[in-house]
Amino acid sequence: MPATRTKKGKGKKAQSEAQKKEETPEQTEVVDDESMQTDQPGPSSSVVESAKQAVKSAEQAVEHAVEAVVEKAADVMEAAEEFVEDMTMKGVEESGPSGSNSGDDTTPPDSKQGSEAPVKMTMEERKAKLNELRKKMAASSRANRTSLAEEAAKAKITARDQARLERQRKLAETLRLKADAEERGEDVERQKNWEYTIEENDEWEKKLARKERRADFAFHDDAHAARRRYKKDLDLIKPDLEAYNKQKAIALGQGSGALTSFDASGSSSEVAAISQEQRLAAENLYRDANTLIYGDNKPSEDAIDRVVSKINKDIDKKGKFSRKRLNEEEGDITYINEHNRVFNKKIARYYDKYTAEIRASFERGTAI
């Protein structure tokens, strides 16, 4: 009985040892697998490293690009500064020194430029300079747009509207002067007359009297018409007072060298020649019915040109002359009575500049 027990105990011990032996290789295999895994890098670590390298290369490329852009901007700023300095120096050279003060004023900037030339500007200074140049460009563009708008507005205004605006401006100025004079208790006409001299006042009165005498434009007879024509021609004549005074001086013996060329020691032929010239000049200037000088006048080229231009002007005026019609200023008749004519005139004053093209298209037959 005990022997059998011992065999059973030994069998149990052997089984347990066998189980332990079977378990130990599996553990060693697991350990070996773990060591294998730790020795060889996995796929996730390689992806992370490649991503890090890509990020570093991208950062380096961005840094290089930023540095290149900054360098180019600095070059552009330096070129702009050099251009501005050249333009300012050219303007100073063209204007030139006006005096000793201007020369003294111009010398310090040259020395400053020479001293500041090797010094480079910082990035903030360059940005400030660039902003200043941009502001100047914006101001110039605004001024150009303003001038362009003004020119466009002037182009839209017709000659009639311009004349009307000028009349309104003069009327407003006159009314303002009158109102100011009334506030001060002064007479406008009296104050205005103080601006003219006595000679100007006399000329103005003569002009008004002459205009009043010629106010009668009706035809009376041929003699009256001829007299009016003669008076008009006299207004166009401009006498040569210089030549007349010279001829008069010779006739009176006051010519250049006429009295100072007398030589007491010489013969009297020179005096006789002078007296003969004086006599001929006097007879030529003061002619009467007993004079024998006739047809020896030789007009100058300017006088001939004036006569020719006057004749051509009369011919052109006669060819263009026509009797004035009642509706010549208004053009086509577009009214049925006087009230309608006044109304159409008021409408045309404000809307002709908008409807001119439409009316012209209707007249040509090209209106859509």
Please give the residue range of the domain that contains residue 347: 337-367
For residue 362, being part of any structural domain is answered with yes
Examine residue 344 and state whether it is found in any structural domain, yes or no.
Answer: yes
**Does residue 24 fall inside a structural domain?**
no
Amino acid at 325: R
Burial class (CB in 10 A: 0-12, 13-18, 19+), 53: exposed
The answer to whether position 261 is within a domain reads no
**What share of the chain in percent tops pLDDT 90?**
13
346 is a domain residue: yes
Residue 367 to residues 235, 347, 353, 364: CA-CA distances in angstroms? 52, 22, 17, 8
pLDDT at 79: 84
pLDDT of residue 91: 61
More confident residue, 143 or 330: 143
- Please state the domain count of the chain: 1
Q: Which residues of 67-83 are buried (b: 16+ CB within 10 A; e: fewer)?
A: eeeeeeeeeebeeeeee
Q: 286 lies in a domain? A: no
Is the residue at 351 inside a domain? yes
Q: Tell me what the mean pLDDT of segment 302-331 comes to.
A: 79
Residue 260 domain-assigned? no
Query: In this predicted structure, what is the pLDDT of residue 37?
Result: 44
The more confident residue out of 142 and 83 is: 142
* Predicted confidence (pLDDT) per residue in 157-201, tens digit: 777 788 888 999 999 998 998 898 888 888 888 888 888 999 999
Q: What is the pTM of this model?
A: 0.32
